[in-house]
């Protein structure tokens, strides 16, 4: 039984049987894991994408623009189908057999199961799709940094990478905290499309539970609340970061 079920009052057990709570909470964990991986990877790749969009090299800017056009102008659902159905047809059969074969990760007290191909496809699709949006937010933050600061850093002998790392990117990321959190919320909600390729996330489990119990109101009501918990957690984090940013500004002015 899922550990979280131990916290449930018997009233909740009457609302929905423990088996289905286990399904929903298990799917919720998959949604959180997929979201965290997609958020982390899309943020790192998005920074690289933003730098490429602002590159002085025309070929690099052109490739970034092509990436933007492809991934922002096609539906995420189609992209998930491409990664799940299209890409395997191009890979050697041995590779697909290896991907679908269980591989224990770690050992002893720490061990993880090999992720399913559905999980891999959904995570990859979400990362490539979200990178285009996150990257544009980062690019907007970079453009908001005053050119005079870049020039001053250059005059001190800093290299281009040092300027980006120590001057531009910290200010850019601080400026776009709210838009970035909005993109992260979209990533959480977009994980629900993973059910179309068999990812056993929260929406998938909700559909299973509803089909077996016919308790549509209870199942989808609980599912909605679980999504809201994740979104509220991001909102609380965003407000905390915004308060820290404002406090930092006040301290800087006093100094």
Please count the other Cβ atoms lying within 10 Å of the Cβ belonging to residue 112: 9
Contact 196, 82 (CB under 8 A): no
Contact 129, 71 (CB under 8 A): yes
DSSP state of 5: G
Give backbone dihedrals phi and psi of 111, rounded to 5 degrees, phi first. -145, 140
The pLDDT mean for the chain works out to 85
Query: Looking at residue 135, what is its pLDDT?
Result: 93
Dist. CA 204–CA 34, nearest whole Å: 14
Query: Looking at residue 173, what is its pLDDT?
Result: 83
Dist. CA 220–CA 175, nearest whole Å: 36
Burial class (CB in 10 A: 0-12, 13-18, 19+), 56: exposed
Give backbone dihedrals phi and psi of 106, rounded to 5 degrees, phi first. 85, -165
Contact 181, 236 (CB under 8 A): no
Average pLDDT on 211-239 reads: 90
Reduced to 3 DSSP states, what percent helix, strand and coil does the chain have, rounded to the nearest 5? Answer: 80, 0, 15
Query: Looking at residue 30, what is its pLDDT?
Result: 93
Residue pLDDT, tens place only, 154-200: 888 888 788 888 888 888 888 888 889 999 999 999 999 999 999 99
Residues 6+ apart with CB under 8 A from 249: none
How sure is the predictor about 252, in pLDDT bands with cuts at 50, 70 and 90? very low
36-48 residues labelled b (16+ CB within 10 A) or e (exposed): ebbbebbbebbbe
Unique residue bearing structure tokens 């940094």 = 145
Query: Looking at residue 4, what is its pLDDT?
Result: 54
Contact 31, 99 (CB under 8 A): no
Indicate if the pLDDT at residue 231 is higher than 60: yes
Question: Distance of CA 120 to CAs 29, 58, 146, 175, Å?
Answer: 16, 33, 40, 32
Question: Distance of CA 61 to CAs 11, 52, 67, 69, 98, Å?
Answer: 58, 6, 10, 12, 36
Average pLDDT on 28-33 reads: 94
How sure is the predictor about 6, in pLDDT bands with cuts at 50, 70 and 90? low
Please count the other Cβ atoms lying within 10 Å of the Cβ belonging to residue 77: 13
Distance of CA 219 to the CA centre of its chain: 25
Please count the other Cβ atoms lying within 10 Å of the Cβ belonging to residue 165: 12
């Amino acid at each position: 039984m899922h550990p979280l079920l131990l916290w449930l009052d018997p009233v909740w057990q009457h609302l929905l049987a423990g088996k289905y709570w286990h399904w929903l909470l298990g799917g919720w964990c998959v949604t959180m894991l997929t979201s965290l991986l997609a958020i982390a990877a899309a943020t790192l790749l998005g920074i690289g994408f933003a730098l490429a969009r602002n590159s002085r090299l025309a070929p690099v800017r052109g490739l970034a623009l092509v990436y933007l056009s492809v991934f922002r102008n096609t539906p995420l659902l189609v992209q998930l189908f491409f990664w799940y159905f299209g890409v395997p047809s191009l890979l050697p059969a041995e590779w697909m057999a290896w991907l679908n074969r269980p591989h224990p990760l770690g050992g002893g007290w720490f061990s993880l199961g090999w992720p399913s191909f559905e999980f891999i496809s959904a995570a990859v699709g979400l990362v490539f799709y979200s990178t285009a949006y996150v990257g544009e937010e980062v690019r907007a933050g970079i453009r908001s940094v005053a050119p005079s600061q870049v020039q001053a850093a250059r005059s001190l002998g800093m290299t281009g990478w040092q300027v980006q790392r120590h001057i531009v990117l910290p200010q850019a990321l601080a400026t776009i905290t709210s838009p970035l959190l909005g993109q992260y919320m979209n990533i959480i909600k977009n994980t629900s499309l993973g059910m179309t390729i068999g990812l056993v996330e929260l929406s998938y489990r909700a559909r299973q539970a509803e089909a077996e119990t016919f308790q549509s109101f209870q199942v989808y009501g609980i599912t909605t609340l679980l999504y809201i918990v994740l979104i509220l957690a991001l909102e609380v984090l965003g407000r905390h970061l915004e308060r820290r940013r404002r406090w930092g500004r006040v301290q800087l002015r006093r100094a």
